[in-house]
Structure 1
């Protein structure tokens, strides 16, 4: 039986989905289950994913809903939620198994490196990793992983269009402190560079602050888009 299910939510990722899934082939060869959940792509994402994943399903639109849909069909006792533009470090499956081998209710994440031209992206990644260690809150860019028991005890991802990773982290944190692995996932900096690094930093800080003050994710989502 597989011990790890990797859930990848996608939307219009035809340009990069093959590279993303091929990079996960070594984990599949060692028994990991790979699940792709499409949120209504209008390109060839689903067609290109066929044969490169164990399960490819058409799920409800919205990252939180897609990840919950993937978790619902996953067969393994450990879940890893991976963004389509993020690459795992070598031996990620073994690192996760070691990290979660000591607690019945456990979860964690990797450090992150942001790929791009701007040197500021290194600073952004360092701030994300440091803040996560300090607060015990992870983001989806850090490839969150958890036991199924922890995922279910926390109620899964909340049905909201933004900050679903922050909210789930807060719930998981009440169950168990996260395991913060130093090994890095590499995520794309395209969002930062398209919008401007400093502009994106200020936007995310503002959104996080407003969310912490009680502003709903539904109200904040249009600002993020």
Structure 2
């Protein structure tokens, strides 16, 4: 018995390499360049995952599905490293969107495909059954369209090349779908229609993002900065915070006698006052925060560019309940560089970051743990120990920059010895009050 040959279909996914500032530019005012690029990345990955599900399920009797990534920006190697080597990769080439669509369709048929579906990545609700429906509808109609709510279309499927469908269309306008319907009428084609879906192109579209994607990308971050006499450094710290998208800064002053409060007020950042004590100040800031993510930052520590995108991405990882940044000390001294390296190994291997590493945690988990224990010392160490029992504490890829002053005042070796002695004493059960007195005496002693 001779079996019938396997027929091939092709699903073409139009996307762009997620370079910050070069993709989803209309969303930059709401998400920032890094956040807009992250959304591009996540929606592309989501579309590819659903395409793979379709390929695994099959698109009909004795049919194989090829998945092609038709991209712009970046290069083939970068795209393959990002999305995997089980997909085909082709550049979109020159011309307007119509030229590029027609070229992709012609190329797919030339390679032996019998049915071709082209989709974008802007519709997070474009799920596997709709992709299946696009192919199936070609059995009864020569053209299938997926209308978008903004007047465009998110999918077009054809049984043969038809370059006329892409000519004379006002791409990027709300007339794209209707003009394509009119083209079909001129060609005596009656298209089949898929369910209408929402594109995510503009800030007002972000409310349509499905959870958890929407919650993560739109999550507001409240950065809480306890300060005491930080006039020399707080301005730089605040500058690193306020450049983040959808981020609020709250400074909690513990009774500064220098110009710290005036400097904070001059920047327009919210200033609170609290009794001195890092735990008291951070909890006061957390109570006033409006974000769903809390980031605790020392007044002499600067955040890296794009920190907000990194935080949101980390907190989407399964099992992750919090995170921190690697430590970089603002000094060229070899001893301090070695000290930062050791601290980062500790954070990575034992998931024990300290407060000067920018600890971040979902607001709900923070208050479930009761906030920072209001101890005179070791409040961050104790909080992280409790957080570890909830899940994994992740380390961000880029470091914060922390002032070297604490190590330079007494010397790197003596400062480290004092800190480790405090940790050891706390672990052995010495009272925090006694440790705090000993710590102050050790630092005050010549």
Shorter chain as denominator, the TM-score bin is: over 0.9
Deviates more, 1:37-46 or 1:72-81: 37-46
Deviates more, 1:101-110 or 1:73-82: 101-110
Do the aligned residues in 2 keep the contact of 1:2 with 1:75 (CA within 8 Å)? no
CA deviations over 1:116-154 (Å, ceiling 9, x no partner): 242100111111111122222120011100001110111
| Corresponding residue number in structure 2 for 1:7 | 224
| Shift, 1:219, TM fit | 0.7
Gaps of 5+ in 1: none
TM alignment of 1:53-92, pairs within 5 A: 53-92=268-307
CA deviations over 1:4-52 (Å, ceiling 9, x no partner): 000010011122222221232311xx22011000001112211110142
Q: Distance in 2 between matches of 1:24 and 1:194?
A: 27
| Shift, 1:177, TM fit | 1.3
- Please state whether the residue corresponding to 1:5 is helix, strand or coil: strand
| Shift, 1:108, TM fit | 0.7
2:242 is the counterpart of 1:25: yes
| Shift, 1:156, TM fit | 0.6
How does the TM-score come out when normalised to structure 1? 0.94
| Corresponding residue number in structure 2 for 1:188 | 403
Gaps of 5+ in 2: 1-217, 441-446
Q: Distance in 1 between matches of 2:363 and 2:289?
A: 9
2:308 is the counterpart of 1:93: yes
- Please state whether the residue corresponding to 1:57 is helix, strand or coil: strand
Do the aligned residues in 1 keep the contact of 2:240 with 2:304 (CA within 8 Å)? no
2:368 is the counterpart of 1:153: yes
Do the aligned residues in 1 keep the contact of 2:331 with 2:337 (CA within 8 Å)? no
* Count of residues paired in the alignment: 223
Deviates more, 1:126-135 or 1:58-67: 126-135
Deviates more, 1:100-109 or 1:148-157: 100-109
Structure of greater relative contact order (alpha carbons < 8 Å, 6+ residues apart) = 1
Cα RMSD (Å): 1.6
CA deviations over 1:52-104 (Å, ceiling 9, x no partner): 24421111210110000000000000000000111111100000000002358
- Please state whether the residue corresponding to 2:388 is helix, strand or coil: helix
How does the TM-score come out when normalised to structure 2? 0.48
Moved over 6 A (4+): none
Q: Distance in 1 between matches of 2:382 and 2:268?
A: 28
| Corresponding residue number in structure 2 for 1:205 | 420
| Corresponding residue number in structure 1 for 2:444 | none
Do the aligned residues in 1 keep the contact of 2:320 with 2:392 (CA within 8 Å)? no
2:339 is the counterpart of 1:124: yes
